Structure 1
Amino acid sequence: MFQDITIEEWSAYRDRKELIMIDVRSPSEYADATIPGSLNIPLFDDQERAEIGTLYKQVSVQAAKERGLEIVSAKLPAFIKQFAEIPQNKSVFCWRGGMRSKTTATLLSLMGIHAYRLTGGYRAYRQWVVEQLNTLQLDQQAFVIHGNTGSGKTAILRKLKEKGYPVLDLEGLAGHRGSIFGEIGLKAHNQKTFDALLMDDLRTYSEPAYMLFEAESRRIGKITLPDLIMDRRASGHHIQIELPLEARVRQIIEDYKPWENAEACMRAFKQIKSRIHTPIAAEIESCLMNEQYAAAVELLLVHYYDPMYSHSSSTHEEKITSYVKAASVDDAMTQIEGIISEAMSVQLQLNEK
């Protein structure tokens, strides 16, 4: 017989990397939000789930169960085979730890495949994430990266993460760059997915004495940053990056690849067109239409984003701790590494006194 595990037991298994989670909900439920790293082996696809739900509501519980049994019986060999091909320890879950996960775990057990079942399902996991984000205490020093649009902040953080630095890539977790153009070329995440991914990173970085992230506003696209991140930002070591305008233009072109997303770029521009001085807006629109992307980006920076950044910076009470004046993203990254090394060395000396 299968064995139920609580969210706390799952958490311990997860820390030891001893368990793979399998979401047996429908593909659309899985796509909306799931436990990070989970596989999707649905007991019912979206159409089947809708059919059973209709029977449940309009006919009877028994009719829904009978139709569900018919569907599962037809696909049972292929369904079981998918589980059998996974060598790791397995735990299944559905929305609230109900019939779908119970049926799956029971069938697997009958076929000699051991699987756990997550008590309370995805709903219990979501409640756990929210509680953790509301109660978790972050004691690490935060290095907060500031800079005008195009300063390569995200690129720098990702390069540092590749080198093993404890980086929270907030824009990456949100699937959004935090501006009107921010979703171009990306798949924006909802709040549930963002929270889950953030919680995973925070657990990963529980040991290092510091973490790095960008000076984001409270909102990135449709998601809202939790208080624990905003509180760490307020008390952080603030690093301001300054890059030449031409380097910033190159970075934006590299990030957005406007030739691949021309229509999306134009749609986004039209949302802010009325906020820009009319002759300048007309010139930007002309540049976009004629694929003169570097010229369009430079005009947007000089006449829209830089003034907006200056105004936004003036409303924050945060004091910049370190300034990085660099010729390139790689140069800026090297200087930031030096700042972190020096700051943490000083902190270590203070702790030893």
Structure 2
Amino acid sequence: MFQDISLEELRLLQTRKQITVIDVRSPSEYKDSTLPDSLNIPLFDDQERAEVGTLYKQVSVQAAKERGLEIVSAKLPAFIKAFGAIQGEKAVFCWRGGMRSRTTATVLSLMDIHAYRLLGGYKAYRKWVIDELETYDFKFKSYVIHGNTGTGKTNLLNKLKKSGHPVLDLEGLAGHRGSIFGQIGLHANNQRTFDSLLLEDLMALEQSPYILFEGESKRIGKVVMPQFLAQHKDSATQLWIEMPLQSRVNQILEDYKPEQFKEEYIAAFRNIKSRIHIPVAAEIERNLLADRFAEAVALLLEHYYDPKYVFSSIQQHEDVEKVVFKVNNVNEAETAVLSFLADQSE
């Protein structure tokens, strides 16, 4: 017989042994939000779930159960085979730890495949994430990376992370670069997924002597960072990257790849076109239409993004520590920040 476990017990098991967590909800539910690193082996696909749900609401519970049993019976061999191919311990969950996960765990048990069932399902996990973030005690010594658009702040953080430094990549967690063009070419996460990934990263970094993250605005694409993080960002040590305009243009072209997403960038630009002086806006649009992306980016930086960043920098607290690095590219920025961090550790 299968064993029910709490979320706390599941997380303890994950620290002690290899255990695969499996979401048996429908593909759309899984895509919307799930436990980090879980797999999706759905008991019902989206259409089947809708059909059973309709019977449950409009006919009877019994009718829904009978149709659900009919659907599951037809796919049992493939369903069990998918679980049997997974090595090691397994834990399954659904929305509330109800019928779908119980059915899955029971069927697997009958086939001598042991699987834990998560009590409370995804709903219990989501409540835990919210509670943890609402009461999180942020004790890190922090360094916040600032710089005008195009200074490669995310690239810099990725380089620092690869070299072993504790980094919180907020844009990566959000699936968004933080600008009006930030979602293009990426999959933007919703608030539930962002919260889950953020909490997991914070917990993984808890023993670090310090943490590095970018000076984002409170809203990043579709998501909003927790209040404690927004407040700490303003009081942390500020590391400012200054880079020549042409270097920033080159960095943006490398990061955003406008030649691959031309129509999307033009559509996004038209959302902010009215905020830019009319002759300049017209010139930017002409450049985008003619594939003169470097010229368009330079004008956007000079007439839209740089003035916005100057205004936001004025809002910074005057009593926080501010360190400026004047560099020509991201590689130089990495060298400068690494040298600074080495000095701090002495």
Match of 2:201 in 1: 201
| SS class of match (1:176) | coil
Residue type of the alignment partner of 2:233: R
Q: Deviations over 1:302-341 (max 9, x none)?
A: 0110001101111232535211111110000111111112
Is residue 140–residue 209 contact of structure 2 (8 Å, CA) maintained in 1?
yes
Residue type of the alignment partner of 1:260: Q
Is residue 5–residue 118 contact of structure 1 (8 Å, CA) maintained in 2?
yes
Match of 1:228 in 2: 228
Match of 1:340 in 2: 341
Is residue 55–residue 64 contact of structure 1 (8 Å, CA) maintained in 2?
yes
Q: Deviations over 1:5-60 (max 9, x none)?
A: 10111121233453211000000000000001000000000000000001000110
Tell me the distance in 1 between the aligned counterparts of 2:314 and 2:321: 12
Is residue 235–residue 317 contact of structure 2 (8 Å, CA) maintained in 1?
no
| Residue 109, structure 1, aligned to residue 109, structure 2 | yes
Tell me the distance in 2 between the aligned counterparts of 1:259 and 1:74: 47
Q: Deviations over 1:48-86 (max 9, x none)?
A: 000000100011000000000001110001100000000
Residue type of the alignment partner of 2:99: M
Is residue 177–residue 183 contact of structure 1 (8 Å, CA) maintained in 2?
yes
How many pairs are equivalent?
A: 345
Structure 1 residue 230: Cα displacement: 1.7
Tell me the distance in 2 between the aligned counterparts of 1:278 and 1:171: 31
| SS class of match (2:37) | coil
| TM-score (normalised: structure 1) | 0.96
Tell me the distance in 1 between the aligned counterparts of 2:344 and 2:306: 29
Match of 1:348 in 2: none
Residue type of the alignment partner of 2:39: L
Q: How does 1:295-334 map to 2 (within 5 A)?
A: 295-317=295-317, 319-334=320-335
Tell me the distance in 1 between the aligned counterparts of 2:15 and 2:135: 19
Structure 1 residue 213: Cα displacement: 0.3
Is residue 143–residue 212 contact of structure 1 (8 Å, CA) maintained in 2?
yes
Match of 2:24 in 1: 24
| SS class of match (2:208) | coil
| Residue 83, structure 1, aligned to residue 74, structure 2 | no
Q: Deviations over 1:271-309 (max 9, x none)?
A: 111111111111100000000000000000001100011
Comparing 156-165 and 316-325, the one that deviates more: 316-325
Q: CA separation of 1:21/1:101 partners in 2, compared to 1, >3 Å: closer, same or farther?
A: same
| TM-score (normalised: structure 2) | 0.98
Tell me the distance in 1 between the aligned counterparts of 2:16 and 2:142: 26
Q: How does 1:51-70 map to 2 (within 5 A)?
A: 51-70=51-70
Q: How does 1:168-179 map to 2 (within 5 A)?
A: 168-179=168-179
Tell me the distance in 1 between the aligned counterparts of 2:276 and 2:16: 53
Q: Deviations over 1:206-250 (max 9, x none)?
A: 111111100011100110001231233133111000011111000
Tell me the distance in 2 between the aligned counterparts of 1:88 and 1:235: 45
Comparing 231-240 and 47-56, the one that deviates more: 231-240
Match of 1:350 in 2: none
Structure 2 unaligned spans of 5+: none
Is residue 240–residue 322 contact of structure 1 (8 Å, CA) maintained in 2?
yes
Is residue 157–residue 212 contact of structure 2 (8 Å, CA) maintained in 1?
yes
Tell me the distance in 2 between the aligned counterparts of 1:313 and 1:88: 52
Match of 2:166 in 1: 166
Structure 1 unaligned spans of 5+: 346-353
Q: CA separation of 1:45/1:156 partners in 2, compared to 1, >3 Å: closer, same or farther?
A: same
Q: Deviations over 1:100-142 (max 9, x none)?
A: 0000000001100010000000000000011111112121211
Residue type of the alignment partner of 2:262: A
Tell me the distance in 2 between the aligned counterparts of 1:113 and 1:159: 43
Is residue 240–residue 320 contact of structure 1 (8 Å, CA) maintained in 2?
no
